[in-house]
Chains A and B, each alone.
Chain A
Amino acid sequence: MVPCILVAFALAGDPIAPPAAEQPVAAEQPAAAAPAPTEVAEVPASSNPEPIVGPPAGAPLSGEALKVATQRVASQLRCPVCQGLSVADSPSESAVALKKEVERLVAMGYSDEQCLLYFEASYGEFIRLDPRAEGLNLVVWAGPLGLLAVGMGVIAWMRLGNRPKIASVAPQLPAIDPALQPYVDQVYAAVGKGV
């Protein structure tokens, strides 16, 4: 198990946190005279998925169907700032934002696969919690099965190797003195067995 975890970390890396500094760096530039911040209207950046994944494959969803579909898609997306958690399972702000985006797409009628492809287009395949079983990914999918097969083969081979051989357990008859062989033959003849 430990090597599996290590392998997972080695493959996945840690995309989250750049190395933290020992101390914050003092600003080199003097602070400019700053205008007062304005009230920023709640206008999110509008991203249109259609150029990437085409028009929605299904009908718009709402209510319970929307909730179920959102949860289903979010559970297939990796939280970008977590280790091995899905967007559905993570309470982080990034995951919440992604889940809202999933909900927006699903509500428009985009299918599960369209949603996954949309996020994959910007994040790469890493965003999929389960990588596709193709190409080099097959090593990840088939590797455990291969190791299991090798292990079972070794165990089977060891068990077969330990099985006592008939020849090795057969009683070893002492060598017969040639002078006594005629008598031995007579005994076998008397009991109906040949030598």
Chain B
Amino acid sequence: MKRGPVILAVGLAVVAGLVAVLASGFQHDPRSISSPLLGKAAPDFTLQTLEPDASGTSASVKLSALRGTPVVINFWATWCIPCQQEHSTLLAVSREFDGVAKFYGVVYQDKPEAIDAWLNARGRAYPTLIDVGSQAAIAFGVYGVPETFVIDKKGVIREKFTGGVTFEGVASLLNTLITE
């Protein structure tokens, strides 16, 4: 048997294998990492709001106490450019679903002063929660910002959006969750 064709065939097989692996990697969005929490109960947290309540102090928000209403949790930061892009969308969709769904922004590795200035410049429509120590972000498995989790009335995570959200994406899901 001649060696040349066999060596060529083996080399081509190895290269074809590598190309197949690379091709499969390029076919999916590298930012889209499926969360193992989808379909499971959202990790509970108790976080304090940036904005003061009527008494002038920050209020505590316990996620598990919000059951009965769909909840949108948006992890974001002032240093995140895509967060700036999606902010107006989140404001619009939160106003659209005012009273039937709750929205919270959870600020990820940021300073209250910077957050407040950022919101003053870009508008605010829902409470901002401060995640000291990033423990809520860790519990939700946040890889980067923005990441948005949509939780149903039973407290189950139904969707995770990696990167900026779209009005249609969040609104259509909320319309479904509201009627369940």
B68 is an interface residue with CB less than 8 A from chain A: no
B5 is an interface residue with CB less than 8 A from chain A: no
Closest Cβ–Cβ distance, residue A26 to chain B (whole Å): 9
Determine if B123 and A122 form an interchain contact, defined as CB atoms under 8 angstroms apart: no
B46 is an interface residue with CB less than 8 A from chain A: yes
A154 vs B8: C-alpha distance in the bound complex, in angstroms? 11
Question: With A15-B30, A29-B122, A32-B124 in contact, do A40 and B112 touch (Cβ < 8 Å)?
Answer: yes
Determine if B144 and A15 form an interchain contact, defined as CB atoms under 8 angstroms apart: yes
The residue that A45 contacts in the complex, of B57, B80, B133, with Cβ under 8 A, is B133
A-facing mask of B73-108, CB < 8 A → 1, else 0?
000000011101101100110000000000000000
Determine chain A's interface SS by DSSP, over half rule: loop
Determine if A97 and B133 form an interchain contact, defined as CB atoms under 8 angstroms apart: yes
B166 is an interface residue with CB less than 8 A from chain A: no
B169 is an interface residue with CB less than 8 A from chain A: no
Question: With A3-B18, A27-B123, A123-B143 in contact, do A45 and B88 touch (Cβ < 8 Å)?
Answer: no
Q: In the complex, how many residues of chain B place their beta carbon closer than 8 angstroms to a beta carbon of chain A?
A: 73
**CB-CB < 8 A to A120: which residues of B?**
36
Determine if B51 and A158 form an interchain contact, defined as CB atoms under 8 angstroms apart: no
B-facing mask of A142-179, CB < 8 A → 1, else 0?
00000100100010011001000000000000000000
State the A residues within 8 Å of B (CB).
3, 6-7, 9-11, 13-21, 24-25, 27-32, 34-48, 80-81, 93-94, 97-98, 100-101, 119-124, 126-127, 147, 150, 154, 157-158, 161
What are 26 contact pairs spanning A and B, CB under 8 A?
A: A6-B18, A10-B21, A10-B22, A10-B24, A10-B26, A13-B29, A13-B30, A14-B31, A18-B163, A25-B85, A27-B122, A30-B123, A31-B119, A36-B116, A40-B48, A41-B48, A45-B133, A47-B43, A80-B143, A98-B138, A121-B36, A124-B33, A124-B35, A126-B33, A154-B7, A157-B6
